[in-house]
Amino acid sequence: MTYQSEPDERVPGVVTTQGSSYDTTEARPGRAFLARGTGRLTSRTWFVLLAGALLPAIVLAVWLIASAGGTTATLPSPGDVWLAGVDLAQRGLLASDVAISVQRVLLGFGIGAGLGLSIGAVVGLSKLGDILLSPTLAALRAVPSLAWVPLLILWFKIGEDSKVILIAIGAFFPVYTTVSAALRHVDRQLVEAGRAFGLNGPRLFVTVQLPAVIPSVISGLRLALAQAWLFLVAAELIASSMGLGFRLVDSQNNGRIDRIFFVIILLAVLGKLTDSLVGLFERWVKRRWS
C-alpha cells in the first residue's frame, strides 16, 4: 500500500517539477528583449499620443495658412471657428444642442443595441429562430435605412420618437449581425462540455456562449455607436428644431460657415469620445474574458 502511505510527498513533487519548468519570470526576458529592440518606440504611450496628433497638427497648420488671405465666406480661420463656438456656448445653444443630440444617440443606441443583442441571441442560438426570423431581418437590412424617414415622420411626426427610432434602426443591425453570426460559431466542444456538466438554457448561455462571443459583441457595439451618430445627423438634418444636425442646417441657411466648421469638429470629437468609452469597456472585458 505504498500509494496511500505517502500521498503528501508525492503530489507536491509534481508541483515543483511543473512549477520550475513553467516559471513565468523566465519567460519574460525574451519578450523584454524584443521590446527593448525595434518594437520599443511604438509601444510607448507618449509616442502613440504624439504621433496620433501629428496629422491633425499639420492639417491645422495648413488650414491657418490657407485661411489667412481668403475670405471667411468660404474658409473661416481656426480663430473664427473657435469664436463661433464660444458664441454658441454663450447663447446657451451649444449646451442644449449637445445635450439633445447625445440624449437621442444614447436612447437610440440603447434600444437598438438591446434589441440587436436579444434578437441576435435568438437567431444565433435557436435553429427555429434562425429559420423564422433571419430571412425577414435580412430583407429589412437591405432597405437603405434612410428610406424609413418619410414613414417614420408620417407615423411619429417630427417629435423625438421618430429620431430615436431611426437611430435605433441604425444601431440594431451591426449588433444583430455580429451577435447572431458569432453565436453560430461558438466552439461546439465547449458548449457540449457545458451541457455535460449540467448547464442548459440561460445558465449555459451566460456561462459558455455569452463569454465566448463577448469580443464580437463589443465590436458590434462599436460599429453600432458609429452608426448611431450617423443616423442622428441624418435625422436631425431632415427634420428637427434642436440638436447638432439642426445647427448644421440652420447655419447653412444663415451662411454661417464658421458654425458649420465648428459643429463638424464637435461631431468628430463627440464620436471619438464615445468610441473611446466603448474602447475602455472593451479593454476591461477582454482582460476579464480571454
Q: Kindly state whether residue 18 participates in binding other proteins, applying the rule CB under 8 A.
A: yes
The piece of 11-19, 101-109, 224-232, 272-280 that touches other proteins (CB under 8 A) is 11-19
Among 25, 189, 241, 253, binds other proteins (CB under 8 A): 189
Cα Rg, the chain, nearest whole Å: 27
Question: What's the number of CA atoms in the CB half-sphere (13 Å) around residue 269?
Answer: 9
Q: How far is the CB of 198 from other proteins (least distance, A)?
A: 6
Q: How far is the CB of 36 from other proteins (least distance, A)?
A: 23
Q: How far is the CB of 188 from other proteins (least distance, A)?
A: 10
**Quick check: 212 and 189 in contact, CB under 8 A?**
no
DSSP type of residue 42: G
Nearest alpha-carbon partner for 97 in 277, 254, 232, 224: 232
**Quick check: 112 and 172 in contact, CB under 8 A?**
yes
The helix (run of H) or strand (run of E) holding residue 90 is helix 78-90
The total number of residues written for the chain in this structure: 290
Q: Kindly state whether residue 206 participates in binding other proteins, applying the rule CB under 8 A.
A: no
Among 4, 25, 45, 90, binds other proteins (CB under 8 A): 4
Q: How far is the CB of 46 from other proteins (least distance, A)?
A: 30
Among 34, 39, 58, 197, binds other proteins (CB under 8 A): 197
Helix (H, G, I), strand (E, B) or coil at 44: coil
Q: How far is the CB of 280 from other proteins (least distance, A)?
A: 19
In whole angstroms, give the CA distance from residue 122 to residue 31: 43
In whole angstroms, give the CA distance from residue 103 to residue 222: 17
Among 92, 198, 201, 202, binds other proteins (CB under 8 A): 198
CB closer to other proteins, 1 vs 142 = 1
Binding mask 21-50 for other proteins (x = CB under 8 A): -x-x--------------------------
The crossing angle, in degrees rounded to 10, of helices 93-125 and 78-90 is 90
**Quick check: 222 and 279 in contact, CB under 8 A?**
yes
Among 15, 32, 55, 147, binds other proteins (CB under 8 A): 15
The piece of 105-113, 142-150, 185-193, 260-268 that touches other proteins (CB under 8 A) is 185-193
Cell numbers at residue 32, please? 523584454
Q: Kindly state whether residue 201 participates in binding other proteins, applying the rule CB under 8 A.
A: no
H-assigned helices in the chain: 2-5, 7-21, 24-36, 45-69, 78-90, 93-125, 127-142, 149-156, 160-184, 188-196, 201-204, 210-238, 244-254, 257-289
Q: Count the site residues for other proteins by CB under 8 A.
A: 33
In whole angstroms, give the CA distance from residue 102 to residue 97: 8
Q: How far is the CB of 208 from other proteins (least distance, A)?
A: 7
Among 96, 134, 207, 219, binds other proteins (CB under 8 A): 207
Q: How far is the CB of 100 from other proteins (least distance, A)?
A: 39
Q: Kindly state whether residue 195 participates in binding other proteins, applying the rule CB under 8 A.
A: yes
Q: Which residues bind other proteins (CB under 8 A)?
A: 1-4, 7-8, 10-15, 18-19, 22, 24, 189-190, 192-198, 207-208, 211-212, 214, 288-290
